[in-house]
Structure 1
Amino acid sequence: MMLADGIWHQIFAFDNYGDLLALVRNSLVVGVALGLAGGLAGVFVMMRDLPFAVHGISELSFAGASAALLAGADIVAGSIIGSLVAAGAIGVLGARARDRNSAIGILMPFGLGLGVLFLALYKGRAANKFGLLTGQIVAVDTPEMTWLLSTSAFVLIVLALIWRPLTFASADPDVAEARGVPVRTLSFVFMLLLGLTVALSVQIVGALLVLTLVVTPAAAAARVTASPVLLPLLSVVFAVASIEGGILLALGSSIPISPYVTTISFAIYVVCRLVGRFRTRQWGNRTAAAPHPA
């Protein structure tokens, strides 16, 4: 019983919570921006079948952040550079799905191996190493917040500018290309935006669990709606709720933030899946009960 109480207190501890809350003010602000960027980018990740690409980009983002940590440079900048290199490589090498997955399968172990090498050479605090993989919530200082917010704003502005043609190109690339939409250019631009979004997410949830912010919210939203307006809105709400809830729950504990964010995100997905299944059954029952014309 005492062991269970000790474990519970490690996972959920709210002692001096008000004083600790001031330590994560920057993280809470950044969390909203990341939720917006991740939730909106996730809509196109699902439409274009790119979850595997998200994971591949995160590995090189981890390598870039690890290299910056070893060199004493800005970790956010290193993470962004690594993500952009990965996103650009995938965009150039992977025009077709089969080629793209092959390119990602090659990049992932390479990026992870580089990241492990750089961390092994780094002789600083172990918490800095661990945070790159599993996330951390109190390490967002003012300069990093400026980086993260400005990069998030850039992602959101570009997404807003290309939203309609990108939606068309994602839903039916052949027809879009036939009507003069620059499908290849849009795909490459989106890959770069995805790289920036992944780099931002790594700062909070770590390189291993980026999918929970860029994929799961959009997948959950798609279970309950197909509306082109409601889908991105719900995806953003789910992403923001996951990251803000994770930060607030992890604040007083000794556990990294990522288990909290992933648990909340997964719970939202499960609920949406159940709601979607219930609505499908209800629709099927109404269709079956409807009178058929003679």
Structure 2
Amino acid sequence: MFVLIVEVATIIFGFFYIQFGAGGDKDNVAPTQQPIIFVSDQNRASAAAKHLVTTTSRSGGDVAMHIDVYGNGKIKYHANKNVRSKQPIIEVNFGDRAKTTKAQSEKLNEIFKYLNQKYNYKQYDAIGYGAGCLAVYDNAVTYGTKQNKMGLSHFISIAGPYQGVMPIRVPADNQRNIPRSGPHHNLAHHQDIIRQQSIAQQQNINQRFPSYKELKAKSKNLDSNTRVLNIYGVLGEHDLSDGRVSEASASSLKGLVKSDNYQALRLTGPDAEHARILDNQIAERLVNRFLFSE
């Protein structure tokens, strides 16, 4: 009788070991893990972006992986042991700046499925900067948890161009390298050429972005539990933009998110300039509080 009980117990233990033990394909990772995905401004691995990643890591996250998405579509994962930390920080870099938001969103879907299968991540937080915001948001409303296999818990949008970017500013005459010789009308001609080039570049960039109408139509697909923090800049009363993204464009994210889940930080002054927002100490503190205080 005793032998029979031992044998039955051994069989039951063996069943549970096979079903729930270490024999699965996925790396064993605690279910409480929640990676922070940082998506920058189309291959803009700037010092400011690195600074934000560094300060975030000091507040509770651990830099764990760098992901390169090449122009030919291949994805390379560079991971370290921190992938098993509580809040691993993962940087995504798109190598081809000519890719559309749609193409970047598709690649994020591949990345999220890989991270779920490899490390068993279930939830994630995301920080988007510039055009990276559009990739994160479009992915969330196009694919969502059902296809990504990961749910977006917190989304921080920094200087996101939800209604496109502005033309690049034409500097003052004394700040540009314009020939000073010749008739005065030559100077005006050079100004006009630079202005036209700026507008053409703006149109080229905005063509890669989804329209606000498209984003609005899909906004109902955003997970109702996703919390959003929108950070954008305004240089001054007479310049309602960060020099690259207008306040109207950046703040229009509010219309794409459930009001109860939306917060915004409007920065002003020189430190609110597009390239300097990531270095802004006020923004830095709020980002860390938003991600780590709960």
TM-score (normalizing by structure 2) = 0.27
The structure richer in strand per residue is 2
The structure richer in helix per residue is 1
Structure whose alpha-carbon radius of gyration is higher: 2
The higher relative CO (CA closer than 8 Å, separation ≥ 6) is in 1
TM-score (normalizing by structure 1) = 0.27
